[in-house]
Copies of this chain bind each other. A is one copy, B any other.
Amino acid sequence: MTNKPTIQDVAKKANVSVATVSRVINEQGGVRKPTEERIKQAIKELRYVRNAVARSMVRKETKTIGVIIPDICNPFFPEIIAGIERKAIGADYSTTLSSSNESKKIESKIIQSFVERGIDGVIITTADENGEHLQPLFDANIPVVAVDRAIKHFDVDTVLTGNREGAYEAVRHLIMQKHEKIAIIRGPQDTTPGLERYKGYCQAMEEYGLPIKEEWICDGDFMEDSGYELTKKLSTCKEMPTAIFSSNNLMSIGAIKALYDMSWVLGKEVSFVGFDDIDIATFTNPPLTVVSRPMRNLGELAFQLLFERMKQDPLVKNQKREFIVTPHLIVRQSCKRSVY
Contact = CB atoms under 8 A, between A and B. Distances in A.
Interface of A: 1, 4, 47, 49-54, 56-57, 62, 64, 72-73, 75, 77-79, 81-82, 85, 89, 94-99, 106, 109, 113, 115-118, 136, 139-141, 253, 256-257, 279-280, 282-285, 315
A113 B94 contact: yes
Contacts of A78: 72-73, 75, 77-78
A116 B72 contact: no
The 5 closest A-B pairs by CB, nearest first: A285-B285, A52-B116, A97-B97, A72-B78, A52-B117
B94 A95 contact: no
Contacts of A50: 116
A72 B85 contact: yes
Contact of A62 (B49, B53, B85): B53
Identify the interface centre among A73, A78, A257, A279: most chain B CB within 10 Å of its CB: A279
B96 A96 contact: yes
A330 B57 CA distance: 53
A293 to B, nearest CB: 15
A99 B85 contact: yes
Nearest to A95: B97
Contact of A141 (B1, B72, B79, B98): B1
A85 B57 contact: no
A64 B283 contact: no
Contacts of A56: 53
Contacts of A4: 140
Given A280-B283, A285-B285, A72 B64 contact: no
